A = this chain, B = another copy of it.
Amino acid sequence: MLSKKTKYALHALSYLGRHKDEKTVLIHDIAEEHGISHKFLENILLELKKAGMLGSKKGKGGGYYLIKDPKEIPLSKVIRLLDGPIALLPCVSLNYYEPCAECKNEAQCGINKVMIQVRDETLKILENKTLEDILKIG
Contacts and interface: CB of A to CB of B under 8 A. Distances in A.
Interface residues on A, range: 35 or more
Interface stretch (A19-27, A44-52, A53-61, A97-105): A97-105
Given A75-B114, A121-B122, A133-B114, A108 B138 contact: yes
Nearest to A99: B138
Contacts of A100: 7, 138
A138 B106 contact: yes
A14 B108 CA distance: 14
B112 A1 contact: no
Interface string A1-20: 11000011011001000000
Interface string A57-96: 0000000000000000001000000001101111000000
A112 B89 CA distance: 24
8 contacts: A10-B111, A102-B138, A110-B137, A112-B138, A117-B125, A118-B126, A121-B124, A121-B125
Interface of A: 1-2, 7-8, 10-11, 14, 34-35, 75, 84-85, 87-90, 100, 102-114, 117-118, 121-122, 124-126, 129, 133-138
